[in-house]
Amino acid sequence: MENYDLPGRREEITSSYPLDDLRRTLKNLYAAEAMSSLAIENIKTDTSGLKKFVGLLENAGRENFREKSCLVGLQNNLVEPRFKESDYKGMQNYVGVTRKSHQEKVRYVCPKPNDIQELMAGLLSANEIMAGLSLPGIVHAAVVSFGFVFLHPFSDGNGRVHRLLIQNVLSLRGEIPEGVIYPVSAAMLNNFSLYEHCMDVFSKPLTDLIDYDIDDRVRLNATGETTGFDNYIDMTVQTEALFHFVKPAVESELAGELEFQEKYKQTRAAVLNIRAMPDRLVEIFIRARLQNDGRLSGRKRKSLFKSLTDDEALAMEKAFHDGLGSRNKQ
């Protein structure tokens, strides 16, 4: 894994594509990374929320997020206003799901609020030490990002900050060039069982050691001594897994989006060669087929493309299938 040349592989993949295609692809990948990160937690947002997330991803290549004030700022920008925090958490939190019986299944008891200041200071100190060492960026990114999500220092937004930290560390270590993003969250979604394993391999055995109770307002109280449980986490599994997320993010997601943009451009030119029409209608024509299993609905055929002859419509359909049809079936 250490021998995988992340910047070199990215250069190999992108070098044969025109600059405009690369810029368009990267714009799409920023949005894809934001949407995938939200999808991991089943979070829905509006257009302005998505744009804000994309802006944070763009800043991940320029700013060091690994300071307390920056982490608080990230949390404030990622959650609803009522869940913003001015400091690390003041109440006990946990990760769990409600069962059909209305009982709470606790998957992970997070560190106690009284311990979080010292634990987070230790994580940020470890980050500073790693920043001065010659070690693979993926090791650094895994320790910081998974360390953060295991400590769970906020009441909300921890997962999204965790995935932003991956981009931040890799960018500032030079593994990701400025203005480029690797859709790691999309790779996590595509291999979600591995992502869950990354969490469970640490959280499950630890939670089994902790005594706790939950009151009728679904508030958890961790009883007994827990200090020291989170001080020295073995990050081997998380580091290996992050490599298995980063590699397909480059080899499949980045390469696949570039290939799609090239085929999209060729298909668009082929459609216009059959019949000149406004750019807006060409986009509608292609997107309608992408979204409808390669077919154009009768309603759109009559309302937007009624001027096309049957021969032109058939020729455009063939142009679509020759260019983007195979991807659409996949």
Q: Looking at residue 251, what DSSP letter applies?
A: I
pLDDT tens per residue across span 28-69:
899 999 999 999 999 988 888 899 999 999 999 888 999 999
Domain termination site, one of 220, 255, 290: 255
Question: Mapping DSSP to helix (H, G, I), strand (E, B) and coil, where does residue 96 land?
Answer: strand
250/304 same-domain check: no
Whether residues 72 and 174 fall in one domain: yes
Is there a single domain that holds both residue 52 and residue 119?
Answer: yes
Residue 201 domain-assigned (yes or no): yes
pTM of the model: 0.86
Mean pLDDT of the region 171-188 = 90
Mean pLDDT of 245-258: 90
- Would you say residue 262 lies in a domain? no
Contacts of 66 (CB under 8 A, 6+ apart): 124, 127, 144, 165, 168, 169
Kindly state whether residues 59 and 100 are assigned to the same domain: yes
Residues 164 and 45 in one domain: yes
- 205 inside domain: yes
261 part of a folded domain: no
Is residue 102 classed as helix, strand or coil in its secondary structure? Answer: coil
Say what the pLDDT of residue 138 is: 94
Does residue 86 share a domain with residue 185? yes
Whether residue 266 is contained in a domain is answered as no
Residues 243 and 308 in one domain: no
In a domain, 265, yes or no: no
Q: Are 252 and 330 in contact (CB under 8 A)?
A: no
- Greater confidence, 226 or 298? 226
Structure confidence by residue, pLDDT tens digits, 64-115:
999 999 999 999 999 999 999 999 999 999 998 765 555 678 899 999 999 9
Q: Is residue 264 part of a domain?
A: no
**pLDDT tens digits, residue range 143-163?**
999 999 999 999 999 999 999
- Banded pLDDT at 330 (limits 50, 70, 90): very low
pLDDT of 194 higher than 70: yes
CB 10 within 8 A of CB 180: yes
Same domain, 230 and 315: no
Q: Residue 10's domain is classified under what CATH number?
A: 1.10.3290.10
Same domain, 251 and 279: no
User: d(Cα 71, Cα 311) in Å, to the nearest integer?
Assistant: 59
- Asked which of 223, 255, 287 is the last residue of a domain, the reply is 255
For residue 326, pLDDT beyond 90? no
Task: Tell me how far apart the alpha carbons of residues 27 and 14 are, in angstroms, rounded to a whole number.
Answer: 14
* Residue 270 resides in a domain: no
| 154-157 CB contacts, 8 Å cutoff, 24+ apart | 154/75, 154/79, 154/85, 154/88, 154/89, 155/83, 155/85, 155/89, 155/91, 155/93, 156/75, 156/79, 156/80, 156/83, 157/74, 157/75, 157/78, 157/79, 157/83
- Sequence-distant (≥ 6) Cβ neighbours of residue 171 within 8 angstroms: 60, 61, 62, 178
pLDDT for the residue 317: 83
Do 285 and 248 belong to one domain?
no
Together in a domain, 226 and 281: no
- Say if residue 75 is in the same domain as residue 220: yes
For the chain, what is the domain count?
2
Q: Answer whether residue 227 shows pLDDT above 90.
A: no
In angstroms, the CA 68 to CA 78 distance is: 16
Q: What confidence score (pLDDT) does residue 160 get? A: 96
Greatest extent of the chain over all pairs of C-alpha atoms, in Å: 77
Domain range for residue 37? 6-255
Measured between its terminal Cα atoms, the distance across the chain in Å is 29
| CA distance linking residue 221 with residue 274, whole number of Å | 69
pLDDT at 169 over 80: yes
